[in-house]
Structure 1
Amino acid sequence: MLGAAALPLAAPALAQEGFPARPLRLIVGFTPGGATDISARAIAPKMGEVLGQPVLVENRPGAGSNIATEVVARSPADGHTLLLATLGALVVSPMVIRLPIDPVRDLVPVSVAVDLFNILVMPPDRPWRSVADLVAAARAAPGSLSYGTSGIAGGPHLAGLLFDRTAGTQTTAVHYRGGGLVVTDLLAGRVDFSFATAASVLTQIREGKLRALAIPHLERSRLMPDVPTMAESGLPGFDVPSWYAVMAPRGTPDAAIARLNAAMRVALNDPEATTVLNRNGLEPRWSTPDQLTEAIMAERTKWLPIIRESNIRIE
């Protein structure tokens, strides 16, 4: 009888020894071509090598990545379906949108994946040559200037909110389903500016198709050392950190999380993956699950008052 009673307890452990048992899905909440998509496709091959099963990148764009978040949260908690989540999806979306799921309640952390920097860019036909010029134009015509974002509550949107708050301006956010679409309309002159991800705009900046004004972080980027920070440009303390992280459905066994975390550590140290990421303005960064939890909580504390002041609510 004692032996029979022990069998149900042993089965899950044995099952985890065979993890993963099939190809994994890494869900991206934006269209191909943007920073999230580039990040996922850079690390997925090496993760697959380490895990012994392919890691397939799947794009599920829409609703600022909330569709993808829900897909993963409702997937079986066996470690085979993962989300490459943005800071916005994990931190801000629950504050502004009535969601059927809560990312903190319904997902568990695996690891931070990459740090990225955004760049304040605009079409070259716009007359503004500095942040001060842009601020003056925005103050002169409240509500008339528009900025593109890769989705509600994402890094570019947060940067736009902070810009209005610190500069005393009123600009209009135009939301797209991915960074690639933002760039398309920037190049066409349909929006005035964007705090776009470097992965989306570095090539266009280098080719003179977009103008870079500033970096919305406390320090200059080593990839664009000649571009000043927003703080250097007259907005002290302006900082919008941005990172992506891998999450799994709540209830995923600890053993699977540990194996995924270890695979990510190898992938994020892979020279080929690092080259791809750096070329697109992305820096690989591994973390423990606990460190990722702490980062999420810290950012929620930072952005809550700004979201409340902006009175953003999406029904």
Structure 2
Amino acid sequence: METTMKKRALVKSMMAGLTTGLLGLALPAAAADPYPQRPIRMVIPFAAGGGTDVLGRLLAQKMGEGLKQPIVVDNKPGAGGSVGTADVAKATPDGYTILLGSSSTHGINPVLYSKLPYDAIKDFSPIGEIATNKFVMAVPANFPAKNLQEFLAVTRANPEKHNYASSGNGTTSHLAGALFVQMSGIPLPHIPYKSNVPGLNDLIAGRVSVMFDNITAMQGQLQAGLVRPIATTGDVRSPILKDVPTMEEQGMKGYRIGGWFCLLAPAGTPPEIVNRLHAELARVVAMPEVRDKMIAIGADPQVSTPAELAKLIATEIPRWKGMVETAGAKVE
């Protein structure tokens, strides 16, 4: 009897120890370490050195500091931003791949490309809008025109000698140029590049006559005097190009075009991760030093909620569709 009782006590003690051990193993799984636990990849669907890249790298650095994990920038240019955007659409929705999207990737591309390799709405979890931006019309520094009327006179006199560059078929840069051609009546041929960088290089060299792009993309070249601004495309003058009149001011009534930047994750990314990334984005953009840098490169800080970004994308696609039809823009 006494032996039996000792055996039962021993078994009970072993079971208690085993249970405690199992609980100890289970606790870390139940109370998983908070996101993120490894580096995050930020895909920028345009080439390094462009305006989108400058903005993305600024955000990646500051957000990475707050998240305590580096955000590694991965430039994947091509097809008006479609290549990199599709890469994110197909990525695992675990918060470790995010996209710096724009009005090109989520406004214009769904209109211009009949076989787009992603669905701008269904394939993404919106995180938040980052900023809006205005466009600038620029010519080579030695171009024989200093304002819109002079440019119109020069190109109308010899239209066969002039063309316009863009950062790629279907981009806002392309659409801005196509809208100008439609409204001015001057048949400037379109020269598409894989990104704005080689386009700007040819603009600087005088191999193309004019380029339309967001101020963010051209700010460095404008400040260095490598290209000359002719006009901006907003309702009012840009705060960093105060001496440059708008298209409206110079007689081209109704010419208004601008873009926006946003942050997205693959569809199905857990809401708690989306909210964590949104909170970090909002914190970073609210920092005075970040806001000043964004404004300096032509971006107007404007953070929205995930729901607000979803609404923006849904309304922007039909708006750009109308503009594409007006301009007669096509992807060659």
SS state of the match for residue 105, structure 1? coil
Trace 1:1-315 onto structure 2 (pairs within 5 A).
18-97=34-113, 98-141=115-158, 144-314=161-331
Contact preservation (8 Å) 2:175, 2:327: no
Q: TM-score with structure 2 length normalisation?
A: 0.84
Q: Give the drift of 1:69.
A: 0.5
Change (3 A) 1:298 1:15: farther
Mapped to 2, the partners of 1:142 and 1:293 lie a distance apart of 42
Moved over 6 A (4+): none
Q: Quote the offset at 1:53 in angstroms.
A: 1.6
1:225: how far off?
0.8
Q: Give the TM-score taking structure 1 as reference length.
A: 0.89
The separation in 2 between residues aligned to 1:113 and 1:296, in whole angstroms, is 13
**Equivalent residue, structure 2, for 1:6:** none
From the CA coordinates, give the structure whose radius of gyration is larger: 2
CA distance in 2, matches of 1:47, 1:167: 43
Distance 2:200 2:162 in 1: 17
Q: 1:14 to 1:223 in 2, by over 3 A?
A: farther
Contact 1:113 1:285 in 2 (8 A): yes
- Opposite residue 125 of structure 1, the aligned amino acid is N
CA contact (8 A) 1:16 1:255 kept: no
- Displacement after TM superposition at 1:37 (Å): 0.6
For residues 38 and 133 of structure 2, the distance between their equivalents in structure 1, rounded to whole angstroms, comes to 31
SS in structure 2 at match of 1:112:
strand
Structure 1 Cα separation of the partners of residues 326 and 254 of structure 2:
18
Change (3 A) 1:283 1:305: closer
Q: Distance in 2 between matches of 1:19 and 1:238?
A: 45
- Cα distance change of structure 1 residues 74 and 14 upon mapping to structure 2, 3 Å threshold: farther
Aligned residues of 1:89 and 1:153 also touching (Cα < 8 A):
no
Match of 1:5 in 2: none
Distance 1:26 1:127 in 2: 41
* Cα separation, 1, equivalents of 2:309 and 2:30: 28
Q: Distance in 2 between matches of 1:107 and 1:14?
A: 28
Structure 1 283/173 Cα, relative in aligned 2: closer, same or farther at 3 Å? same
Q: Report SS of the residue matched to 1:308.
A: helix
Measured in 2, the distance between the counterparts of 1:208 and 1:311 equals 32
Amino acid at match of 1:109: P
**Within 1, Cα distance between the matches of 2:151 and 2:30?**
61
- Matched residue type, 1:150: S
Report how many residues are paired: 304
User: Bigger CA drift: 113-122 or 226-235?
Assistant: 113-122
Note the residue ranges of structure 1 that are not aligned, 5 or more in a row. Answer: 1-12
SS in 1 for 2:165: strand
Gaps of 5+ in 2: 1-28
Using the alignment, how far apart are the partners of 2:312 and 2:173 within structure 1?
19
Could you say if the C-alpha distance between residues 14 and 56 of structure 1 is closer, same or farther in structure 2, counting changes exceeding 3 Å? farther
Residues 144, 172 of structure 1: 8 Å contact kept: no
Aligned counterparts of 1:14 and 1:233: Cα–Cα separation in 2? 64
CA shift in 2, pair 1:211/1:61, >3 Å = same
Give deviations 1:245-300, integer Å, cap 9, x for gaps: 11111111111111111010011112332233233222322111121122222322
Provide the identity percentage.
33
What are the superposed Cα offsets for residues 193-223 of structure 1, whole Å, 9 maximum, x if unpaired?
1113323333433343211110011110111
2: CA distance, partners of 1:279 / 1:310: 30
